[in-house]
Amino acid sequence: MKKIGILHNELAQMVASMGHGDQLVIGDAGLPVPQGVPCIDLAVTFGTPTLQTVLDTVLAELCVERVTLAVQTEHANAALWQSVRQYADTENWAVDVCSHDEFKHRTRNACAVVRTGDNMPYTNIILHSGVPF
């Protein structure tokens, strides 16, 4: 048994299989999952796990070069917005911002959508995989 990192089998496999430019969506409990895109459902109940918990865990293992957020996130979830901006500054990521409708359209290109139990509106992010070299 692993003793650190991502313990969820499907999520660990997805992160390990991602290549440069692949996209992983981490979303709140209400984000629709496009037909044909795998859903890794981690939701237990509203609020568990939070998107922030899942994001921090994934970012410990996934090399990211860019993220996408809906513009509505800044006001609907200022804590997530600030957290992502801090990561972006520290890790030198590009941050793309689009409307929530455009965000949902972009999820069609994801390798998977990770569903959390977060129940705050607009608590969603697209991680664009980078390379560690």
Which of 76, 63, 65 lies closest to 122 in space, CA to CA? 76
Taking the complete model, does pTM exceed 0.85, yes or no? yes
* Beta bridge partners of residue 129, listed in sequence order: 64
The CATH number that applies at residue 67 is 3.40.1650.10
49-75: per-residue pLDDT in tens? 999 999 999 999 999 999 999 999 999
Residue at 1 is within a domain: no
Contact 14, 40 (CB under 8 A): yes
| DSSP class per residue in 104-130 | HHHGGG-SEEEE----STT--EEEEE-
Residue at 6 is within a domain: no
Question: Which band of pLDDT confidence, cut at 50, 70 and 90, is reported for residue 39?
Answer: very high
**Region 110-129: what's the mean pLDDT?**
98
Q: What gap in Å lies between CA 128 and CA 116, rounded to an integer?
A: 18
Residue at 77 is within a domain: yes
Residue at 88 is within a domain: yes
Residue at 109 is within a domain: yes
Do the annotations mark residue 100 as ligand-binding? yes
Residues recognised as catalytic: 20
Domain that holds residue 107: 24-129
Residue at 17 is within a domain: no
Do the annotations mark residue 8 as ligand-binding? no
Residue at 58 is within a domain: yes
Q: Is the pLDDT of residue 2 over 90?
A: no
* Residue-averaged pLDDT of the chain: 97
Residue at 71 is within a domain: yes
CA 38 to chain centre: 14
Q: How many domains does the chain have?
A: 1
Q: What gap in Å lies between CA 128 and CA 59, rounded to an integer?
A: 11
